[in-house]
Amino acid sequence: MKIKLFAAAALFATSLLSAQIDFRSTRFGLTGGATISRVSNAHNPSGPRYSFYGGALALIPVDNNDQFYIQTEVEYLGAGESGKDKDAKGATGYNAIYANNYISVPIYFKGYFSEAESEFFALAGPKFNFLVSQKVSDPGKPFYVPEQLEEYPDLNGKASSFNLAIGLGIGFSYKRMLEVTARYDLGLSNTYKGLMGELNADPNTAKKKSEQVFSVGLSYIFQ
């Protein structure tokens, strides 16, 4: 799996290097929107966390027909999960919030479906997420409670400081200025390495803790 990922990353990088990148025609913009995130195999009960993202982008042409671009961004990204599983109301941890907040740097390859001024587009590429804060409230597990940490010396709920993800998205551009985008980010990293040694009745706790984020937002690109 890792070999395939490295091969895909190398192919992506090679494609960018061989493209006709025109940095002089770079346009800049602002972007932001709402997020829904979860982390698989980490907490039980497990539910979505609702947050937001926001930041700046650069749109760099890679051809001469106004259709293909590299879109890089620097943004604040709220992710993580909650305990609000609809089937676990009243259970310990139902009101928990496991908030992971990142500075995220996505690098997308973006293609409009035609050269039309108003058109649909798709984008895909890696996202590099750097943890800036982790806030946990009403946890359902003792690994987050300072008074109980001594009982579990080999376990902790600290989120990884770096998270690699693959982002996919689709959207619509109005006159190449105002754009609405829906994105899905699949985490490739293990978000909670400190929980891997947990043993209980749920076999999923021994699996990698993958963070997923779905977002919908608006971007304004300056002329």
pLDDT per residue as tens digits for the range 69-99: 999 999 999 999 999 998 888 888 899 999 9
- What is the structure's pLDDT at 97? 94
> Residue 184 above 50 pLDDT?
yes
- 186-213 mean pLDDT: 83
- 7-35 mean pLDDT: 73
**The residue type at 205:** T
pLDDT tens for 34-71 read 999 999 998 888 999 999 999 999 999 997 778 999 99
pLDDT tens for 107-162 read 999 999 999 999 999 999 999 999 999 999 988 777 776 655 566 667 788 899 99
CA distances from residue 137 to 64, 102, 167, 208 in whole angstroms, order as listed? 51, 18, 28, 23
- What is the structure's pLDDT at 2? 47
- What is the structure's pLDDT at 19? 54
Residue 208 · residue 41 · CB < 8 Å: yes
Residue 184 · residue 214 · CB < 8 Å: yes
Structural domains in the chain?
2-221 (2.40.160.20)
pLDDT tens for 192-202 read 998 887 766 56
- What is the structure's pLDDT at 21? 79
Share of the chain above pLDDT 90, in %: 64
pLDDT tens for 211-223 read 999 999 999 999 8
- What is the structure's pLDDT at 81? 96
Of 52 and 8, the structure prediction assigns the larger pLDDT to 52
Q: 195: exposed, middle or buried (C-beta count within 10 Å: 0-12, 13-18, 19+)? A: buried
The DSSP code sequence of 172-189 is EEETTTEEEEEEEEEE-S
Helix, coil or strand: residue 28: strand
> Residue 7 above 70 pLDDT?
no
